[in-house]
Amino acid sequence: MKQRSRYPFYLAIFLLIAAGIALAVTRHVQLGIPWLAGEQKPVWMVEARIDFEATGEEVLVSLNVPDNPPGFRVLSQQAASPGYGFSLIEDSGDLRAEWSIREADGGQTLYFNVQLTPDDSTDGSIRTIAPEPQAMFWEEPEATAVAEVLERAGAKSASPESMTRELIKLLRSSEPDQNIALLLNNNDYVTLVQRLLNHAGIPARVADGLKLEDARRLQPLRPFLQIHNGERWLTFHPETGQQGLPDDVVLWRQDADALLDVMGGQDSQISFSMLQQTVPALQLATREGGGNGLGFLSLYELPIEEQGMFRMLLLLPLGALVVAFMRIIIGIRTSGTFMPVLIAVAFVQTSLIPGLVAFLSVVAVGLVMRGYLSSLNLLLVARISALIILVIAITTGISIVGYQMGFNTGMTVTFFPMVILAWTIERMSILWEEDGPREVVIQGFGSLFVAVLAYLLMDAPLARHLTFNFPELHLVTFGLILLMGQYTGYKLTELRRFSPVKDFS
């Protein structure tokens, strides 16, 4: 017999484990499912309120709404506006909310809600094709002033970014020269900067940002300057010239020309209010996970009842892993290969101490009764069947007595798999007769020890969280178990068993 090469096997296991981890990481990144249970993430609820006077004709209101704002992710968008038809319209890369009604008169109020969560992965640095700088037309004497200012700023700069910074510095200097004073007098400041940059051949635009502060009302939008450096849009604070967007500012409007258009109304006003909520990251991930890429792997798509079942089922591989490790690497003897896992599953439902007490009392009472059964010389099947009935009787007895004495824990006995209990008692009893009480104690405690270890692992919040939210991690468990199946080294207990080897000549 020839030994097959082991390399394909190890390669397969490596691929398995790598695939499991890669899938989990991808899902973590894509769907934002947290690694740890109980991780909290802030969610901002921003409400835009539009007030206007309708003139009694048909009304069409169009509001620019955030579309991929840098540093944030939009969770949901909602409009509240009685009587109005509402739709979200994507118009040449510009997302707008539109309300319409056939006829309206008097004061009108429309609401638009958006939920945002900070997200570092969408920092807005999407490459875009550089737009053409808008051609600007200046009248004298402004044209001369513009040329002079741009020349001074341009002399100190080398790139669109430094040009922007220099320009802002010039315009904000505490002692403006007369050229600058002239320009500032005749123009709105931010628009002026934008126009100057465009004139200098740098595509620039004004975006509206909203500073997020908890529980604020009637907040205005603040203008931010954006320039295109040939690759992507960069945001500058128009007053300080600081590059980059502060973390607490969400850009409400970036691309669109107008924030708000109202047809059939007048005196329109818009104001913003906001509220911060803290939502478990997991809830956040599952809320949006839905049809999203790898979201189909999520067990949250299942009905709640099945989810509960899978929570339990997906813990079983961990128990199997513990049993494999304890038996192969450590070498602990257990009674029945996977009996400890089933006991551990019962422990998960009963919690440890009541579970242990219940288990030990059922097995102890069962062993005594089995002693009587064995003197009856029953056939095996009949004896096991009788034992199952006895186990159920003992369970019932413990539950009733426990309940009467005021311990609710007595009831938890019912979680133990009855047939497994019956077989455990039968095996223990035969073991006692054939190999003596010593072996019963060794195997009994070996099983309980492994069961408790498996329970501790399966009950760890992290394990519960990971197994259910990242079922693909079971590929790793699978790989580890396969690897252990190839382990040919000594078991830990063998180092003790074979210790007399030291005396060999």
Instruction: Name the residue nearer to other proteins (CB basis): 3 or 174.
Output: 3
Nearest distance in Å: CB 503, other proteins: 7
Nearest distance in Å: CB 318, other proteins: 22
Nearest distance in Å: CB 4, other proteins: 10
Query: Residues with Cβ < 8 Å from 133, sequence gap 6 or more?
Result: 197, 198, 199, 200, 201, 202, 203, 204
Query: Residues with Cβ < 8 Å from 195, sequence gap 6 or more?
Result: 136, 187
Residue 141 preceded by cis peptide, ω within 30: yes
Asked whether position 7 contacts other proteins by CB under 8 A, the answer is no
d(CA 139, CA 186): 11
Query: Residues with Cβ < 8 Å from 61, sequence gap 6 or more?
Result: 50, 52, 84, 98, 99, 100, 110, 260, 261, 262, 263, 265, 268
Instruction: Name the residue nearer to other proteins (CB basis): 215 or 501.
Output: 501
d(CA 97, CA 67): 11
Asked whether position 375 contacts other proteins by CB under 8 A, the answer is no
Asked whether position 1 contacts other proteins by CB under 8 A, the answer is yes
Residues 430 to 449 in contact with other proteins, rule: CB under 8 A? 430, 434-435
Instruction: Name the residue nearer to other proteins (CB basis): 67 or 426.
Output: 426
d(CA 381, CA 402): 31
Instruction: Name the residue nearer to other proteins (CB basis): 11 or 495.
Output: 495
Instruction: Name the residue nearer to other proteins (CB basis): 296 or 487.
Output: 487
d(CA 14, CA 63): 53
Cα distance from N-terminal residue to C-terminal residue, the chain:
34
Asked whether position 495 contacts other proteins by CB under 8 A, the answer is yes
Asked whether position 216 contacts other proteins by CB under 8 A, the answer is no
> For the chain, what's the residue count?
505
Dihedral pair phi/psi, residue 113, rounded to 5° = -105, 140
Beta strands 260-263 and 59-64, pairing class? antiparallel
Instruction: Name the residue nearer to other proteins (CB basis): 25 or 419.
Output: 419
Nearest distance in Å: CB 382, other proteins: 8
Give the range of 14-22, 354-362, 375-383, 470-478 binding other proteins by CB under 8 A: 375-383
Give the range of 127-135, 164-172, 282-290, 373-381 binding other proteins by CB under 8 A: 373-381
Dihedral pair phi/psi, residue 233, rounded to 5° = -80, 135
Asked whether position 419 contacts other proteins by CB under 8 A, the answer is no
Query: Residues with Cβ < 8 Å from 463, sequence gap 6 or more?
Result: 315, 318, 457
Instruction: Name the residue nearer to other proteins (CB basis): 214 or 494.
Output: 494
Give the range of 75-83, 238-246, 378-386, 468-476 binding other proteins by CB under 8 A: 378-386
Asked whether position 488 contacts other proteins by CB under 8 A, the answer is yes
Pick from 328, 356, 367, 482 the residue near other proteins by CB under 8 A.
328
Binding residues vs other proteins (CB under 8 A): 1, 3, 328, 331, 377, 379-381, 430, 434-435, 485-491, 494-505
